[in-house]
Amino acid sequence: MTTLLAGLSVVLLGGLAAVILARWPRWAASVHRIATGAGALVALVSPLKVLGGAHLPTLTLPTNVPGGAWTFGLDALSAWFLIPVLLAGTAAAIFGTSYLAGQEEEGSVPRAHLGMAVLLVALGLVLTAQATLAFLASWEVMALAGYFLVVFEDRRPEVRRAGMVYLIATHAGTLLLVVVFGLWGNRAFDLSFASLAHAAPALGSLHAVLLTLGLLGFGLKAGFVPLHFWLPEAHAAAPSHVSAIMSGVVIKTGIYGVLRLLVLLGAPPPWWSFGVLLLGVCSGVLGVLWALAQHDLKRLLAYHSVENIGIILLGLGAGALGLSYRSPLLAVLGFLGAVLHVLNHALFKSLLFLQAGSVLRATGSRELEHLGGLGRRMPLTWLGFVVGSAAIVGLPPLNGFVSEWVVFQALFSAGSSRTPASLALFGAAALGLVGGLALACFAKVCGSVFLGHPRTPAALAAREVGPGFWGPAAVLAAACLVVGVMPWLAIGPAVRVAGQLAGVPWARAAALTRPARDAAQQIALLAALLAGTVAVLAMARTWALRRAGAVATSETWACGYPRTSARMQYSASSFAAPLVALFGPLAGVVVHRRADGFATHPVNLALERILVPLWEATQRASARIRPIQHGRLQLYLLYIVATVALLLFYLAASGGKP
Amino acid sequence: MTSWLCFGLALVLAPLLPGVAQRTKSWLTGRRGPPVLQLYWDLARLWRKGAVFSSVAGASFRLGPVVFAASGVAAAMLLPFANNPALIRFPGDFVAFAGVLALGRFALVLAALDTGSSFEGMGASREAAFGSLSEPVLVLCFAALALASQELSLSGMLGPALPSWWAAGPALAMVGAGVFLVTLAETGRVPVDDPATHLELTMIHEVMVLDHSGPDFALIHYAAALKLTLLGTLLAGVLVPAGQAAAVVRIAGWLGGLLALAVAIGVVESVMARLRLARVPQLLTSAAVLPGFAIILLLSRAA
């Protein structure tokens, strides 16, 4: 624990140094970069130890604040979630030093560096807090640091609006959490997690209420449908490295919160587990469908986060069903899939956002219809992006495949559990559909950004970005590949976490997941054979071409039409059109079909069609009671006297008992 | 050993199936048609030829066919042929099977988009759209098989643990129908796509590979035939009740099943026309409903 805090302090000091050295931006960036990297490496030691089976002492700060002492400690669950924070978060922060270099026009760069450091530290504290007030305080610091990072370019009105929507959403979530812990703490000795867990068995009907409110409160952070409305706005408006940490890491604290609630509260009722599963299906399918309709690269990636939270919820729901129906195998497999996907999504989503940032810096655009042909101009960025794409689609031999494989197994073993949980089997079909749609979506992105002709002069003039950009991305891409090819490296520690969540000892969890861990070797074999076949076929093809000796270069065959241009390529809108048309109004797209063009305009359905009208209706309704506000002191004194009188009257009428 | 033999047989015999389908079609429509072994000659001819590359196309275009073919070979390693255990088998290997096929599709779609041609973009878009709809059908078929056999690997699902037709006939028939429709959709056959069409605007698979030539084109043709063989093997595994018979009998049953599939494809192609593109999703949705019902049947039997 002290190692972790020492590492995080170094990160924080690096952020402060960036502000102090603001007059020398290069020095500030270097100090911030080195401090973040070194601090994260030091901090990484503690969670790795815990995942290896060690028990670290907790740290207790005695305070006079009500609610008991502030305890910080690391268990397997906390340690697992710290890994993506320290890997993906640090890569994003280091990328940020290059990404923000020379951006003083847009916003305060040193403050952004400090915000990043504060965000990393707050994430560390959220994940290790074992007392309610410490948890909520860190949660707020995390949310506010996120807000200040999102509104970095606050001169643009859409950024300010996105920031405001994010701020409202995150505070609505915090409010729900305060209610949850308040109701719960009423029944407990104090507000430490240990006391809360102690009070859990005697909660009665409050148990389900807390689980449901907690799911909603944490769900606003995790961003599953329909609580995702703020996510695509905020993640698209933020600077790319901030989008990477927000999408890859910060939203996972919502999942962490739900899992922590499950650990503290115990087995949920079956309807709750089925509800989580259903939310997972909706988030997965709708998230990827909405992503298909987007043309803004970062907004598209943000919708994919909604999709991947859906996949995590499918695993989480299966695990919760295992708890509800007392099936340890199902519980362990489900939670294993969920936590593996948490790590994997953090790796590939941060990677994709960093690559999107490189594209944005190289071309100044994130509009799919304005890009194209970047694969030749930015080969390293393209390589990173295609690795991330294959991973997010769940293709072997990359990490996304590994977690989807475990989630599939969980859903299938639910199917043969001979309990009502069998219905979860249909979630597997949804997962299949999500995989297929994600493939279509990333084919669209890769095709319109990196392949074909450049569609604009800016895309034509793009040049490869420097090592400060592709370095951190390369680390993440390598991590994706390592987890995909050697899955046991991730599955081994994850089994410890899944065991904790399923409430079974580690040895039992290890025995239950034995087939999956053995299968990991077979996956490595498959990856090797796949790579070997590709190599052999590629050599054979080259040899055949060399022997034939007749290799010519010509223009793309356009069925005899001689003069093709970049504008004649299939656009991203057209590519997605069959699927968008198939899902109709659910896709949330306004289609413009004219003789001279085809364009689609995506709409944030939950925000623009539900929440904004609801908010306007509320405002109209509240205008009715506005006349009682005059701003005159006498009148307000009168209100106070009237209220007090009313309360006294109530007290007298109820016989002295409030 | 038999597993290796069957794996080799599948790789060698793959180009035969399109030939048989074509021959059936010709025969039913009163023509003579090309020889059954025509695809072998085509492959050999293409492999010896040079190639023309578009000036726009880069590494993705050149690597696409290679990855497509390699993914077919990898998928073949995951599949149990003639009830022999697969070369690579583990719980949940059906996800890897579907994933490897998806990898091939992804590579081919990217290769098509690399040319910057609107025709190939169109084909790629359709391939991605219909592929994403056939994926859940395949998963539901696997789910029904897993329920019926209580196994999580393909070798288990299609092995002796699969109940007999007597025990689970209707469910198996529905799964078989689902796999058959997926096979038609995934391999670009009528009623989803017409391999014989010459109008680019109506093509799916063929228009996607319009720019490929020489050895690359040979790889694509071969991998497409291999994909047909693999999905056909899956279908034969569901429908041909071989059980514990001797290896020779099982192999004969498997090859007979493949042959029957090729003939069935030929029959379908001669008796019906290609569906309108907007109708294809409906076909695939109904294909998903069939194994869905099979799952409900099996669940109600277990309960």
Q: What is the DSSP string of A343-402?
A: HHHHHHHHHHHHHHHHHHHHHS--BGGG---HHHH-HHHHHHHHHHHHHHHT-TTSHHHH
Q: What pLDDT is attached to residue A657?
A: 63
A407, A439, A551: best to mutate for the B interface, most B CBs within 10 A: A439
Residues of B in contact with A552 (CB under 8 A): 50-53
Q: What pLDDT is attached to residue A508?
A: 92
Please identify among residues 397-416 of chain A the ones whose CB lies closer than 8 Å to any CB of chain B. Answer: 401, 404-406, 408-409, 412-413, 415-416
A208 touches chain B (CB under 8 A): no
Q: What pLDDT is attached to residue A558?
A: 76
- Residue with the larger pLDDT of the pair B45 and B117: B45
* Closest CA–CA distance from residue B164 to any residue of chain A (Å): 18
Helix, coil or strand: residue B148: helix
> Closest Cα partner for B145 from B282, B284, B297, B2?
B297
> Closest Cα partner for A378 from A288, A278, A282, A473?
A473
Residues of B in contact with A408 (CB under 8 A): 92, 94-95, 139
A406, A530, A561: best to mutate for the B interface, most B CBs within 10 A: A530
Residues of B in contact with A439 (CB under 8 A): 102, 105-106, 109, 128, 131-132
Residue of B nearest to A440 (CA): B128
Interchain CB distance below 8 Å, A447 and B66: no
Q: What pLDDT is attached to residue A419?
A: 87
Q: What pLDDT is attached to residue B201?
A: 74
A307, A344, A395: best to mutate for the B interface, most B CBs within 10 A: A395
Closest in B88, B106, B117 to A522, CB measured:
B88
A530 touches chain B (CB under 8 A): yes
Q: How far is CA A231 from the centre of its chain?
A: 9
A551-554 and A59-61 as β-strands: parallel, antiparallel, unpaired? Answer: unpaired
A599 touches chain B (CB under 8 A): no
- Over residues B227-249, mean pLDDT: 87
B87, B95, B200, B296: best to mutate for the A interface, most A CBs within 10 A: B95
Residue B43 one-letter amino acid: L
> How far is B117 from A629, CA to CA, in rounded Å?
65
> pLDDT at residue B297 above 80?
yes
Interchain CB distance below 8 Å, A541 and B219: yes
Which secondary structure element, helix H or strand E, spans residue A8, and what is its range? helix A2-20
Q: What pLDDT is attached to residue A267?
A: 92
> How far is A573 from A195, CA to CA, in rounded Å?
54
Closest in B48, B66, B295 to A538, CB measured:
B66
Which residues, in sequence order, are CB contacts of A602 under 8 Å at separation 6+?
A: A290, A293, A294, A295, A299, A588, A589, A590
Q: Which two tokens stand for residue A362?
A: 């190289």
Length of chain A measured in residues: 658
Place of tokens 């998928």: B75
Residues of B in contact with A570 (CB under 8 A): 113, 117-118, 120-122, 124-125
A70-72 and A59-61 as β-strands: parallel, antiparallel, unpaired? Answer: antiparallel
* pLDDT-flagged residues of chain A (< 50): none
Work out the angle between the directed axes of helices B38-48 and B214-239 (0-180°, nearest 10): 150
Cβ atoms B248, B82 nearer than 8 A: no
> Closest Cα partner for B75 from B106, B99, B91, B51?
B99
Residues of A in contact with B222 (CB under 8 A): none
Give all strands (DSSP E) within B136-267, no chain letters.
none
Q: What pLDDT is attached to residue A590?
A: 82
B103, B280, B289, B290: best to mutate for the A interface, most A CBs within 10 A: B103
Which residues, in sequence order, are CB contacts of A357 under 8 Å at separation 6+?
A: A95, A99, A239, A240, A241, A243, A244, A469
Which residues, in sequence order, are CB contacts of A349 under 8 Å at separation 6+?
A: A88, A244, A247, A248, A301, A304, A305, A308, A388, A392
Please identify among residues 128-167 of chain A the ones whose CB lies closer than 8 Å to any CB of chain B. Answer: none
Cβ pairs A/B, distance under 8 A: 288
Please identify among residues 413-452 of chain A the ones whose CB lies closer than 8 Å to any CB of chain B. Answer: 413, 415-416, 418, 422-423, 425-426, 428-433, 435-437, 439-440, 442-444, 446-448, 451-452
* Closest CA–CA distance from residue B63 to any residue of chain A (Å): 7
Residues of A in contact with B200 (CB under 8 A): 559
> pLDDT at residue B207 above 90?
no
A311: number of CA atoms within 13 Å, CB side? 34
Interchain CB distance below 8 Å, A425 and B295: yes
Q: What pLDDT is attached to residue A451?
A: 93
- Residue with the larger pLDDT of the pair B204 and A253: A253
* Closest CA–CA distance from residue A188 to any residue of chain B (Å): 41
DSSP letter assigned to residue A571: P
Question: Tens digits of per-residue pLDDT, A75-107?
Answer: 999 999 999 999 999 999 999 999 998 888 888
Q: What pLDDT is attached to residue B164?
A: 75
> How far is A530 from A522, CA to CA, in rounded Å?
12
| Rounded (5°) CA angle A255-A261-A263 | 105
> How far is A48 from A3, CA to CA, in rounded Å?
12
Residues of A in contact with B133 (CB under 8 A): 433, 436
Residues of A in contact with B47 (CB under 8 A): 544
**What number of other Cβ atoms are within 10 A of residue B264's Cβ?**
17
DSSP letter assigned to residue B91: T
Using the Cα atoms of residue B134, residue B139, residue B142 and residue B144 in order, give the sign of their dihedral: negative
Q: Which pLDDT band holds residue B303 (cuts at 50, 70, 90)?
A: low
Question: Tens digits of per-residue pLDDT, B169-179?
Answer: 888 999 999 99
Interchain CB distance below 8 Å, A552 and B52: yes
> How far is B93 from B90, CA to CA, in rounded Å?
5
Interchain CB distance below 8 Å, B92 and A556: no
Helix, coil or strand: residue A71: strand
Residue B151 sits at φ, ψ, to 5 deg, of -125, 155
Q: What pLDDT is attached to residue A586?
A: 84
Helix, coil or strand: residue B191: coil
- Dihedral angle over CA of A225, A227, A230, A236, nearest 10: -30
A524 touches chain B (CB under 8 A): no
- Over residues B263-285, mean pLDDT: 90
> How far is B140 from B137, CA to CA, in rounded Å?
5
Which secondary structure element, helix H or strand E, spans residue A589, and what is its range? strand A589-594
Q: What pLDDT is attached to residue A656?
A: 65
Place of tokens 């074999």: A525
Please identify among residues 472-501 of chain A the ones whose CB lies closer than 8 Å to any CB of chain B. Answer: none
Cβ atoms A241, A354 nearer than 8 A: yes
Residue A75 sits at φ, ψ, to 5 deg, of -115, -175
Interchain CB distance below 8 Å, A556 and B60: no
Q: Peptide bond before A578: cis, by omega within 30 degrees of 0?
A: no
Give the whole-number percent of chain B exceeding pLDDT 70. 99
* Closest CA–CA distance from residue A23 to any residue of chain B (Å): 45
Query: Can you tell me the ipTM of this complex?
Result: 0.95
Q: Which two tokens stand for residue A606?
A: 């939950």
A556 touches chain B (CB under 8 A): yes
**Rounded to a whole number, what is the largest CA-CA distance in chain A?**
104
B47, B139, B206, B219: best to mutate for the A interface, most A CBs within 10 A: B139
Place of tokens 């469910």: B171
Interchain CB distance below 8 Å, A529 and B211: no
Residues of B in contact with A436 (CB under 8 A): 102, 131-136
> Closest Cα partner for A32 from A106, A107, A119, A105?
A119
Q: What is the CA radius of gyration of chain A?
A: 26
